[in-house]
Structure 1
Amino acid sequence: MLRYTLRQIEYAVTIWDRGSVAAASAQLGVAQPTLSASLAKLEEQIGLQLFIRHHAQGVSPSPAGLRFLAEARNLLTHAQDLQRDMLAAGTAIEGQLALGSFTTIAPSFVPQLIKSFTSVHPKVTIAMAEGTQDELFDGLRGGAHDLALLYDVDMPQDFAVTTLASFEPHVLLPAGHRLTRLKQVPLIALKDEPFVLLDIAPSRTYFTRLLETAGIVPRIAFSSPSLEVVRGLVGQGLGYSILVTRPHGDHSYSGDALAVRPIADDVERGVIALAGLKQMRKTRLVSAFETHCEQYFRTLAS
């Protein structure tokens, strides 16, 4: 027999999300004493202290509480999914999907994915957040994201990864650079050139590894976590870059012409993937979005 109720789980997870009993009370429309009593009862029933109380500064989960709350969120999600299934007679896809995306991937693909998916499933809302790879990992583990769209590089073992597409990296040059006369650029031809690095994990590791595999120690002249700053620096003739993402139109924000050339060497491709926590059982909404992404990128490739 269960020692706790879904209502207690809902209250505890909301307190975790909001960071205090007062904020959870305002969101749920439930009196603070009721929430406090429910939390105390839950902790007594399961034999764990879920939260550390901070005087006038809310609460934070204890180490044991963090593990319990992560699983509790999973339980609550599937209870909500079951309820939607029953209300929709097992046919409709609805609810909110929290989607994280790597910063350089988001502008090129996420708006189209949101538009195409919600056109088919109008009862779905998608909450989108951009971030670095580490931020996306934290968001998935903490329950802020259901799924994350990112590059399949250095992926931890606790994530389930669905490969969506792979793209050849390219050399980005100023329009008047001497190497633009080549249809393909061998990496060795860049060994004495100043390099403009897209300095964001895992991109920095991936791009420097491509050069080092070709026997080149890159001469990093500039680095930036911004794709458009990198493109702007190249447009001003301050160096070359190697990128996977190619925005529509080969010009920087300031209007400088850019030249894109394929790499002549056989190099590691950039792989875009969809990731989620292995321990999280997929909801119907998550499974439907995953299938949609696979179809979208398959169509894009063809």
Structure 2
Amino acid sequence: MIAISPRQLEVFAAIVDAGSVRAAAGQLGLSQPAASMALAELERLLGTPLFDRGRQRLRLNERGRALLPRAREIVERLRELGTLAGDAPAGTLAVGASNTVGNYLVGDLLGEFIAAQPQVKVRLRVANSAQVLAGVLDFRLDVGCIEGPLEHAEVERIDWRRDELKVCVRADDPLARRRRLRADDLRGRRWILRETGSATRSLFEEAGRGALGPLDVALELGQSEAIKQAVIAGLGIACLPAVAIGDAIANGRLVALHTPFLALERRLALLVHRTRWRGATLRAFLGSLGKRRESKD
């Protein structure tokens, strides 16, 4: 039997999460030499490196990716055994959220869980949906929350709630005064869109395919807030999540157009790797959202 210690596995997982030995050592209350030694001993016992090393950066290699979910499961199981209840949430939860969720729905996503489990440290990473899915696949994220239809055979997708996109224009745009629009009214307009990989952009392009024809994309931006400000500045029109433009509509800077010819409703979903062990912390998080989760149509 290989004499691997829980501490070595804990250090390994912490290095993956923190991105460096130094940062992981600080999180665990160890000296950097002690953390380095624990990693070196783990790699010696396994007979293989777990990271590709170059230019003072550690990149998880294939063997490291295979070990990571098992190491986290062992660490979490031992942590639970150490609690009085034997099954209490503890430790760190790594959550990924798409830009829409992370910037506008973070309270709905995390609020109830953080209030109920103050002893758990939550790490939130905000990125586009494709990046969140990638984080779940390589186990850097325990759970992700995305908009749009992204799926993967290795990931379970759990419906959370509905969301809707809206085509919006500046308040003084001629289209803002039109009660009834046709798809042709949007042809030839200059569009400001999210970057490739964004679920918001993917849904809009799918909905507009055929109805709107080729799009004149004047500007690509990585944040809905930046796009909103660009539309207000008169640089073009956009399709944005309804939750992102509510304030600008309320104060009269933007108008949301009525576009029944575009199917712009979507579902926000939780992503969990199918082989990811669902310990007390992850179960508690999913449970906090499950109380308000919408049933599937």
Instruction: Name the TM tier (shorter chain).
Output: 0.7 to 0.9
Distance 1:130 1:172, change over 3 A: same
The runs of 5 or more residues in structure 2 that have no matched partner are none
Letter in 2 for 1:105: V
- For the Cα contact (< 8 Å) 1:21–1:58, is it kept in 2? no
Distance 1:64 1:258, change over 3 A: same
Alpha-carbon deviation of 1:123?
Answer: 3.2
1:159-208 Cα shifts (integer Å, max 9, x gaps): 21111122332220221333333445433321132222233522322222
Is 1:281 the counterpart of 2:277 in the alignment? yes
Letter in 1 for 2:78: A
- For the Cα contact (< 8 Å) 2:68–2:139, is it kept in 1? no
Distance 1:127 1:18, change over 3 A: closer
- Tell me the number of residue pairs that the alignment of Structure 1 and Structure 2 aligns: 294
Q: What are the equivalent positions in structure 2 for 1:216-227 lying under 5 Å apart?
A: 216-227=213-224
Q: The residue matched to 2:291 in structure 1 has which SS?
A: helix
Q: The residue matched to 2:172 in structure 1 has which SS?
A: coil
- For the Cα contact (< 8 Å) 2:225–2:244, is it kept in 1? no
Distance 1:185 1:162, change over 3 A: farther
CA distance in 2, matches of 1:125, 1:290: 16
Is 1:242 the counterpart of 2:239 in the alignment? yes
- For the Cα contact (< 8 Å) 2:157–2:270, is it kept in 1? yes
Distance 1:43 1:251, change over 3 A: closer
CA distance in 1, matches of 2:28, 2:121: 20
- Report the TM-score when normalising by structure 1: 0.79
Residue in structure 2 matched with residue 80 of structure 1 by the alignment: 79
- For the Cα contact (< 8 Å) 2:96–2:124, is it kept in 1? yes
Moved over 6 A (4+): 31-34
CA distance in 2, matches of 1:20, 1:12: 10
Rg comparison, structure with higher value: 1
- Report the TM-score when normalising by structure 2: 0.80
Distance 1:258 1:77, change over 3 A: same
Q: The residue matched to 1:289 in structure 2 has which SS?
A: helix
Distance 1:214 1:7, change over 3 A: same
Letter in 1 for 2:50: L
Residue in structure 2 matched with residue 147 of structure 1 by the alignment: 143
Residue in structure 2 matched with residue 99 of structure 1 by the alignment: 95
Q: The residue matched to 1:48 in structure 2 has which SS?
A: coil
Distance 1:81 1:250, change over 3 A: same
Distance 1:115 1:279, change over 3 A: same
The runs of 5 or more residues in structure 1 that have no matched partner are none
Report sequence identity in percent. Answer: 24
Distance 1:257 1:73, change over 3 A: same
CA RMSD of aligned residues (A): 3.4
Which residue among 264, 272, 278 is the counterpart of 2:268? 272
Alpha-carbon deviation of 1:151?
Answer: 1.2
Residue in structure 2 matched with residue 209 of structure 1 by the alignment: 206
Residue in structure 1 matched with residue 62 of structure 2 by the alignment: 63
Letter in 2 for 1:244: P
Residue in structure 2 matched with residue 50 of structure 1 by the alignment: 50
CA distance in 2, matches of 1:208, 1:172: 15
Distance 1:9 1:127, change over 3 A: closer
Q: The residue matched to 1:168 in structure 2 has which SS?
A: strand
